[in-house]
Amino acid sequence: MRATLVAAVFLLLTGAASDDQPWMLCSVRTTSAHPNSPARTYVEPIAIVLRRSRNAVEFTKPPSPSPGKDYYRTGEKFSVMRGGLSSGTVTILPADNNTCQPIERLAQRSGKPTPRWRSADAVAGTSVDVRRRVSPLRAPSAGENRELLAVVRQLFAIKAVPAAVLDQIKSENVAATDLDGDARIDFIGTFVVRDSRNTHTLFVVVMRDRSGALRADVIRYDRSLNTRDDSGAKNWTLVDVEDFDGDGIDEIIVENHGWEWGSYDILRMKRETDWEVVYSGGGSGC
Ligand SMILES: [Ca+2]
Ligand SMILES: [Ca+2]
């Protein structure tokens, strides 16, 4: 079964995708331009996506690359999606001497990367099979940000972050969108604050409930020491949300960042307030 899937995947990578064939879901990351280095875009595999039925998909780990079997073909073009909307393309560039090859690969990106976004900000594939949405991901408004930060401060306080530093919370990769289709805007984001001893990192999915209150459904927290490179430190960033199974509720793609490793989780809403990790894998580990 596994061998069949692997064969199908490599076949897919050299052929056209159709609805019932597995397809490779990749992340898209564009670095910032600096005086001595232009912006660069990289793609790397997140998962193999296989549609099982109208409202069911299965995510499996990409096969390990082996000599002669590459994930990419130079010049191949992938559609880029963000929040259910088309966001240009990436075209695979010739391999360079990047140590993360053959998993991560340089690409030429058309369309704008998300401003002020750390790490991957979109997904790509030869034919990205997701439900089209009408509300794109956006940055929260000033008012929404204040509300969200109040929730984040409470969560940090529960984690015993000193009150004196709670005014210095920095936010990264925060997106506002209606995740569950109830017409109320929800939020996903990463928040970081440092005290004299520790760096505290929080990743949250915050839903607006029926009463209008904000409710933290997913909480990931890490504390690491400031004084030395803490190899146990980890953090998380939002990559994108997409409705892969077409049930009207977005799945959330989270990138896990650790000491010289990275991978992805896909979260799916099991029932109200309860998000489960339905897939973990991908990434380059470099
Ligand atoms: Ca909502
Ligand atoms: Ca869904």
In this prediction, residue 227 carries a pLDDT of 81
In this prediction, residue 55 carries a pLDDT of 85
Cα 16 to middle of ligand 1, angstroms: 35
DSSP assignment, residue 33? P
Whole-prediction pTM value?
0.90
Lowest mean pLDDT among 55-64, 93-102, 258-267, 272-281: 93-102
Domain ranges of the chain: 2-125, 142-281
Cα 32 to middle of ligand 1, angstroms: 32
13 pLDDT higher than 70: no
Q: What is the pLDDT of residues 234-252, one digit of tens each?
A: 999 999 999 999 999 999 9
Starting from the CA of residue 205, give the closest ligand. Answer: 1
Starting from the CA of residue 84, give the closest ligand. Answer: 2
Cα 248 to middle of ligand 1, angstroms: 11
Nearest CA-CA partner of 168 in 144, 140, 199: 199
Cα 244 to middle of ligand 2, angstroms: 5
In this prediction, residue 17 carries a pLDDT of 43
**170 Cα distance to chain centroid:** 19
> CA 61, CA 264: separation in Å to the nearest integer?
10
Nearest CA-CA partner of 217 in 206, 227, 209, 229: 206
Cα 84 to middle of ligand 1, angstroms: 15
> CA 84, CA 200: separation in Å to the nearest integer?
31
DSSP H or E run through 7: helix 2-13
Over residues 103-108, mean pLDDT? 92
> CA 36, CA 46: separation in Å to the nearest integer?
30
Label residue 198 exposed, middle or buried (CB < 10 Å: 0-12, 13-18, 19+).
Answer: buried
Cα 176 to middle of ligand 1, angstroms: 10
Tell me the pLDDT of the chain averaged across its residues: 89
Q: Which residue has the higher pLDDT, 135 or 191?
A: 191
182 pLDDT higher than 90: yes
Cα 251 to middle of ligand 2, angstroms: 5
141 pLDDT higher than 90: yes
Starting from the CA of residue 249, give the closest ligand. Answer: 2
What the block records as the tokens of 37 is 């280095």
Q: Facing residues of 28 across strands?
A: 43, 122
Strand-strand pairing, 122-125 and 41-53:
unpaired
Starting from the CA of residue 272, give the closest ligand. Answer: 1
Starting from the CA of residue 181, give the closest ligand. Answer: 1
Starting from the CA of residue 246, give the closest ligand. Answer: 2
